[in-house]
Structure 1
């Protein structure tokens, strides 16, 4: 395999955004921005990354996505060329905002009433099977327009609106003719590794933001004091800590969650930090050990996964998978694939889900998914409730 080229870092993230074209790989985070072009290798398993990166030379980087169902193939690319830039931060305001032109047809799957019925079914199953502690149920919203979707514009809108999120656009296997792109702005870090330092930032428990500052603060306080949401969050943190413990000689798990916010949502957040036992454990191996977390599947994992398959009416594909990068030294960062869309030609599928607990209220769960869908709807310039 030829060695990967690392070009001179760009002055800012805007330069990389301007250079992005569908088919490239683009990852922006609070740590920096990566833009990959061309293809040296395409892999379908995380455990094949280390060898491919070694073949691509010192400092090589691989980027890509893993589906929700770990038995299905991933789509991971070692690019020919990688450019980097500093984090976006204050530069976000300089990015232009452009709504996509045209009219949209919106088709929910399932319909809102069917989703509340699905939540009721999950709550009933948990009552009948107390060992099933949490199930995450999602909705898909298909949007179709009259022309191919301008992916770079959507990417720029996401960066401008949520500059502190993990914003991504990565190529997926084609479905029919043309390019297919997984695009989104995830607030949730699955895992990062830098040297021996490990960080995971699970989010669970959510409330919508409000344009009214007083109402927005009330929503935040109610979330922080909600027994249901704190219980849901604790289940996720427990699962993350249990998965990381075998790999870490030291693991720190805060006793209380914090509040974090995106442009559209409040979340309960816990930063789990650790120190690796073995420096040969790469970031993608940690991602494989963690995925899927209870934040996107439920607990226990196998029972929750089977319940999702029995209740949900659609194939999640890469939604609630993982997207990220690893380098030849084993460092990297992988995020949970939420607040995302699967884009192909003039159509895209948006996704949003919520953690169902024994005490969940179906109407509240429906409202939560509607609020989460607004991240991508607003990036498209569609100010509608789904």
Structure 2
């Protein structure tokens, strides 16, 4: 991004971009009011806790037919320091979550590890977004200006919700397996994921939750009975497309994003109980696991789940990123550590960290 740009959501077919900032909104209600009062669009970030502070804005200029961001091979920049949540600490958290699930406090909890990386020289947000684009495949690359001149930048494979007129679509991902450079091992990982009882149960929690939240709003609602396999450069996922037709097209994409987020794919179920467990075991989340997107004055828009992303510090010399996994009955703490390690590869690749050594 250039200093003038404030929002980007880019797919291979094209991008939407915001330039400059006409107004900022720190809550969903304030953004709703702005749309009612004539703002052409609002774009940005909703926190993991959608009742908490948002980072939404109306740009000075909004472009819906921009070309996609150019993929860039990231420079191999050696970091000044790297810190990652220790494997033993994450194993202990998973064990504690399993005990809470066994006690009936929740059915699923998503726990994440954190990686913090420092650099001696400032990083360019546009170069980071281009690094994500280099391996994004069909994932949407995004960069959104957050509070205090921080940025959230990433490549999310997961569509939370898209609204066009009365038609609503969601494409949740839940249930994961690391990919392999060996074709036979990669195929075996995909086949194992597609029949994994643990991952199928984890996925069903997400689909059921979205259907329950959409049902009161929709005259029609449909989804396949079984998930399909989707892949990123680093992971295999179970995914299910959901399509609905709204009773009332005055319901906006922003309304839907606030209603649906956070899904059990990034939080857990039941929502309140899982969120409380995350705060207890992991700590407070800000925008990771929330949603990033836009809504125009017709109520149309698109929102992604804020995963496979990093937060770039205001001084551009530090990043923080996260990798999570769903914990359900039958989860193995060691396997959960391995899953988060694999998911960190998206950010490591975008930053050139593996090339730097």
TM over 0.5: yes
Task: Please say if residues 103 and 146 of structure 1, whose CA atoms lie closer than 8 Å, have aligned partners that are also in contact.
Answer: yes
Which structure's relative contact order is higher, taking Cα pairs within 8 Å and 6+ residues apart?
2
Residue 336 of structure 1 deviates from its aligned partner by 0.6
Unaligned runs of 5+ in 1: 1-16
Partner of 1:5: none
What are the superposed Cα offsets for residues 306-351 of structure 1, whole Å, 9 maximum, x if unpaired? 1111111x43210001100001100001111000101112111011
Partner of 1:12: none
Partner of 1:40: 22
Cα distance in 2 for partners of 1:103, 1:319 equals 22
Structure 1 residues 229 and 143, CA gap change in structure 2 (3 angstroms):
same
Is 1:339 the counterpart of 2:339? The answer is: no
- Give the counterpart of 1:118 among 86, 93, 112: 93
Cα distance in 2 for partners of 1:221, 1:351 equals 27
Q: Secondary structure at the match of 2:90?
A: helix
Residue 37 of structure 1 deviates from its aligned partner by 1.0
Task: Please say if residues 106 and 141 of structure 1, whose CA atoms lie closer than 8 Å, have aligned partners that are also in contact.
Answer: yes
Partner of 1:52: 34
Residue 378 of structure 1 deviates from its aligned partner by 0.6
Cα distance in 2 for partners of 1:300, 1:24 equals 35
Cα distance in 1 for partners of 2:63, 2:309 equals 23
Q: Secondary structure at the match of 2:344?
A: helix
- Give the counterpart of 2:165 among 188, 192, 195: 195
Partner of 1:266: 236
Residue 180 of structure 1 deviates from its aligned partner by 1.0
Cα distance in 2 for partners of 1:87, 1:30 equals 8
Partner of 1:136: 110
What are the superposed Cα offsets for residues 43-102 of structure 1, whole Å, 9 maximum, x if unpaired? 112233343234445xx22210011122321010100012233664xxx8x733132523
Structure 1 residues 217 and 173, CA gap change in structure 2 (3 angstroms):
same
Is 1:107 the counterpart of 2:78? The answer is: no
Is 1:357 the counterpart of 2:328? The answer is: yes
Q: Secondary structure at the match of 1:26?
A: strand
What are the superposed Cα offsets for residues 226-256 of structure 1, whole Å, 9 maximum, x if unpaired? 1100010011110010011111111002100
Q: Secondary structure at the match of 1:233?
A: helix
Cα distance in 2 for partners of 1:219, 1:87 equals 35
What are the superposed Cα offsets for residues 273-311 of structure 1, whole Å, 9 maximum, x if unpaired? 000000100011011111111111111111111111111
Q: Secondary structure at the match of 2:123?
A: coil
Cα distance in 1 for partners of 2:130, 2:322 equals 19
- Give the counterpart of 2:7 among 17, 25, 31: 25
Is 1:309 the counterpart of 2:284? The answer is: no
Partner of 1:319: 288
Partner of 1:79: 59
Partner of 1:149: 123
Task: Please say if residues 40 and 78 of structure 1, whose CA atoms lie closer than 8 Å, have aligned partners that are also in contact.
Answer: yes
Q: How many residues align?
A: 355
Is 1:250 the counterpart of 2:226? The answer is: no
Q: Secondary structure at the match of 2:18?
A: strand
Partner of 1:382: 353
Partner of 1:9: none
Cα distance in 1 for partners of 2:10, 2:303 equals 12
Partner of 2:191: 221
Worse overlay, 112-121 or 23-32: 23-32
**Considering only aligned residues, what root-mean-square deviation do their CA atoms show, in Å?**
2.0
Unaligned runs of 5+ in 2: none
Partner of 1:13: none
Cα distance in 1 for partners of 2:325, 2:222 equals 26
Q: Secondary structure at the match of 1:24?
A: strand
Structure 1 residues 40 and 365, CA gap change in structure 2 (3 angstroms):
same
Cα distance in 2 for partners of 1:22, 1:297 equals 34
Q: Secondary structure at the match of 1:383?
A: helix
Task: Please say if residues 23 and 170 of structure 1, whose CA atoms lie closer than 8 Å, have aligned partners that are also in contact.
Answer: no
Partner of 1:69: 49
Residue 216 of structure 1 deviates from its aligned partner by 1.0
Q: Secondary structure at the match of 1:28?
A: strand
